[in-house]
A and B are shown apart, each in its own frame.
Chain A
């Protein structure tokens, strides 16, 4: 999809990242600095959540998404998201409103109440797509190669599906994130059930099932002895990180080496780290402390 705005984006932080995992925001802002594009903060509201709000009232979901899209349209900027949920909601709503006259007229009538009109002239991008487009520049920028590290990547459902609208990658055999890990000289390791959902969607409504799904995934990741799990979505992040802590507490199970949990990292953090930014505060705020930096320290890569 061609960019509407050249080298500038409206940065869509969403709710979970700035209000719960601000270290992902900080890492993203740092990583963006290394590349030739600008971001602008706008007073966006909740995207809104593709599961909760859409399930409760689909029309509200579309209207609130359109409200956010209008804010970026007024600034003539494409939207850049850091979260799969925001990415899916804004992309799908954007497409539906662009192509379905009936829905657009209905939503614009609602938006008229607050003096806005959806025009449908901007695009929505995930930060991972942007990094992937810029991947040929990365090798020259790397300050800390991740050569000895093994990573298990998890894409997350709402980055890939509905594929016909999002068009990010093959919905069953995606490669974008694996390639981005390899660009940092890290090893993206294959594991079983890689394409399985993390189970966060039923965290609130069916917690036991949500736990069973993440246990299934963690068991497979554990077999590979990965140094960390790489995610690109704060909801997957929470599911993997809090999930492991709760499973340890409730079931006494751990999946990492020596009875430890497996660290979870958003790709933006990994990139910022590899690019040489000081990430000690960001990594310090993780509940599961990172172990792969021990390997890097042994290799003389310097402190984080």
Chain B
């Protein structure tokens, strides 16, 4: 479950014969040619992992799993990209939108915060109150898995970028 070694990932993509079925079905590639699933695999096969992780391309996968379902060689690219994103996050390269979500998860145990407007709307429909999740338990899990450390170091990295953007 922990991040797979790069050798293992390369083993999984070895059956790929570059037919491009993954690219043909990819909803992102048809609109943004920067994310080319076939070429991602080619780069991986040639050991150019640094090139892949240099930019945020792997984060532009929308995880629809079409590539994994269509692949005639059963290469599960969507989940290989999950592994690569885990690598990328470990290196401190995580898009702001994902980090924002992770911050709320750590704070509330959910990925949204309850707004006053929604509370009012819930009352209008006589919905029962929201059962609060076991936040202590969730936060303990986040600490044990190392999620906390990863989030803190990612946020420290992110703050530097944000300051430089403001200066610019």
Contacts and interface: CB of A to CB of B under 8 A. Distances in A.
Interface string B92-132: 00111110011001000111111100100110110110111
Given A46-B110, A55-B59, A212-B31, 14 more contacts: A16-B111, A19-B114, A26-B127, A56-B98, A57-B146, A58-B1, A58-B3, A111-B141, A157-B66, A204-B98, A205-B97, A206-B59, A212-B32, A285-B121
A161 B2 contact: no
A182 interface: no
Interface of A: 15-16, 18-20, 22-23, 25-26, 29, 41-46, 48-60, 62-64, 67, 102-103, 106-107, 110-111, 113-114, 116, 157-158, 161-163, 171-172, 196-197, 199-206, 208-210, 212-213, 216, 281-282, 285
A63 B30 CA distance: 35
Contact of B27 (A18, A161, A163, A213): A213
Residues of A contacting B: mostly:
helix
Interface residues of B toward A: which range?
35 or more
Contact of A113 (B30, B61, B140): B140
> Most B CB atoms within 10 A — which of A41, A199, A202, A285?
A202
B73 to A, nearest CB: 15
B145 A63 contact: yes
Contacts of B28: 199, 202, 206, 209, 213
A46 B89 contact: no
A197 B64 contact: yes
B86 A55 contact: yes
B145 A161 contact: no
Nearest to A201: B62
Contact of A282 (B83, B125, B130, B138): B125
A135 B11 CA distance: 45
A26 B125 contact: yes
Interface string B49-69: 000000010011111111011
29 contacts: A15-B111, A16-B112, A23-B125, A25-B127, A42-B131, A43-B133, A45-B109, A48-B111, A50-B63, A53-B101, A56-B86, A58-B3, A59-B1, A62-B1, A157-B64, A157-B66, A158-B65, A161-B64, A162-B65, A172-B69, A196-B27, A197-B62, A199-B28, A201-B62, A202-B28, A203-B97, A204-B96, A206-B60, A210-B62
A55 B98 contact: yes
Given A20-B112, A45-B138, A199 B144 contact: no
Interface of B: 1-3, 27-28, 30-32, 56, 59-66, 68-69, 82-83, 85-86, 89, 94-98, 101-102, 105, 109-115, 118, 121-122, 124-125, 127-128, 130-138, 140-142, 144-147, 150-151
B122 A22 contact: yes
Contact of B61 (A52, A58, A201): A201
B68 A161 contact: yes
A209 B60 contact: yes
A260 to B, nearest CB: 23
B118 A19 contact: yes
Contact of B125 (A114, A171, A197, A281): A281
